[in-house]
């Protein structure tokens, strides 16, 4: 019955587009979509393709409808194959590229998203819409996201430029480097990233960077584990500027800031609002 349904969902010839890492993806009319990360799950639902998703990781908890989906381990190739998907949505923000390569070798259609900026987010939204047959709704979402991004950027231009870091983790000290969506989050909010540019996307750096006299602002995801490691760091000499308030910490909701999906725009608006409240 499932195979008959999928044939009915996929009439006519297909063509190829490139995903965000440069791999060709056949465009058809999928009816069995698997998402391998929370951010791509959110994108599928945002463009109106949630009804096509047959499985997702247990961490995919937004929107609420995603919580009812069957769960799978995104690193388990056999589990993915067993569900016979006709499209798999993956991300560079957490999925193992070796798993993705293996799925492609086995003939599974995989689209990998690489959202490293707000421009890439809107591009990814349009791509998922095209691949799932939800192009019109995706275009509406792209327009709405773009309007909100532009509005937040305009608000940020009214604030003084500051030097900043996005801290992913305090012990070890891990920051977001240029070329990441967190870097673009900072820059769109009017903050200049002080993280090193040649050490990978999320390098482990010397905590002495906290003593840099240029460092005005730290942005961090607000979740209990991160708060706990922050409290520990604050007891140490490297945190002198933090304790004195010379370097301010702006906490933004972790579930918004840690996923490069549609709600990353919510994180941007929250960061700009925090800057306005503490310029």
Measured at the CA of 203, the angle between CA 199 and CA 204, to 5 degrees, comes to: 125
Predicted pLDDT at 22: 95
Assign domain 2-145 to its CATH superfamily: Nitrogenase molybdenum iron protein domain (3.40.50.1980)
pLDDT grade, residue 1 (50/70/90)? very low
CA-based R_g, the chain, Å: 20
Arithmetic mean of pLDDT, 48-52: 97
Mapping DSSP to helix (H, G, I), strand (E, B) and coil, where does residue 78 land?
Answer: helix
Question: What b/e sequence results for 163-181 when a residue is b if at least 16 CB atoms lie within 10 Å of its CB, and e otherwise?
Answer: bbbbbbbbeebbbbbbebb
Compute the distance between CA of residue 258 and CA of residue 243 in angstroms, rounded to an integer. Answer: 26
Read off the pTM: 0.92
Does position 4 have pLDDT exceeding 50, yes or no? Answer: no
Average pLDDT across the chain, whole number: 93
CB atoms within 10 A of CB 118: 24
Sequence spans of domains, the chain? 2-145, 159-277
Q: What is the pLDDT of residue 198?
A: 82
pLDDT digits (tens, 9 = 90+) for 218-250: 999 999 999 999 999 999 999 999 999 999 999
Top-confidence residue, 8 or 178: 178
d(CA 201, CA 196): 9
- Spatial neighbors of 104 by CB under 8 A, at least 6 apart, are 23, 110
Q: Is the pLDDT of residue 34 over 70?
A: yes
Distances (CA, A) of 35 to 27, 38, 46, 124: 17, 8, 13, 14
pLDDT for 14 = 58
Instruction: Render pLDDT for 95-117 as a digit per residue (tens, 0 to 9).
Output: 999 999 999 999 999 999 999 99
Top-level CATH class of 159-277?
Answer: alpha beta
pLDDT attached to residue 16: 87
User: From CA 215, how far away is CA 219, in angstroms rounded?
Assistant: 11
Per-residue pLDDT of 148-195, as tens digits, reads 999 999 999 999 999 999 999 999 999 999 999 999 999 999 999 999
């Amino acid at each position: 019955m499932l195979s008959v349904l999928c044939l009915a969902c996929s009439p006519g010839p297909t063509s190829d587009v490139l995903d965000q890492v440069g791999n060709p993806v056949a465009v058809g009319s999928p009816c069995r979509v698997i998402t391998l990360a929370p951010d791509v799950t959110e994108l599928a639902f945002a463009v109106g393709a949630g009804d096509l998703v047959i499985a997702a990781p247990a961490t995919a908890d937004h929107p609420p409808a995603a919580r009812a989906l069957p769960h799978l381990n995104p690193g388990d190739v056999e589990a993915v194959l067993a569900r016979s998907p006709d499209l798999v949505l993956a991300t560079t923000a957490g999925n193992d590229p070796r798993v993705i390569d293996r799925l492609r070798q086995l003939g599974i259609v995989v689209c990998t998203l690489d959202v490293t900026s707000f421009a890439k987010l809107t591009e990814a939204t349009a791509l998922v819409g095209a691949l799932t047959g939800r192009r019109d709704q995706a275009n509406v979402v792209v327009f709405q996201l773009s309007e909100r991004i532009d509005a937040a950027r305009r608000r940020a231009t009214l604030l003084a430029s500051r030097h900043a870091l996005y801290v992913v983790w305090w012990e070890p000290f891990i920051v977001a480097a240029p070329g990441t969506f967190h870097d673009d989050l900072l820059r769109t909010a009017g903050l200049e990233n002080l993280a090193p540019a040649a050490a990978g996307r999320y390098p482990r750096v010397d905590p002495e960077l906290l003593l840099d006299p240029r460092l005005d602002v730290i942005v961090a995801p607000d979740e209990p584990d991160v708060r706990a490691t922050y409290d520990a760091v604050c007891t140490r000499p490297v945190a002198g500027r933090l304790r004195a308030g010379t370097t301010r910490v702006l906490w933004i909701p972790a579930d918004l800031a840690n996923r490069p999906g549609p709600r990353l725009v919510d994180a941007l608006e929250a960061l700009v609002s925090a800057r306005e409240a503490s310029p």
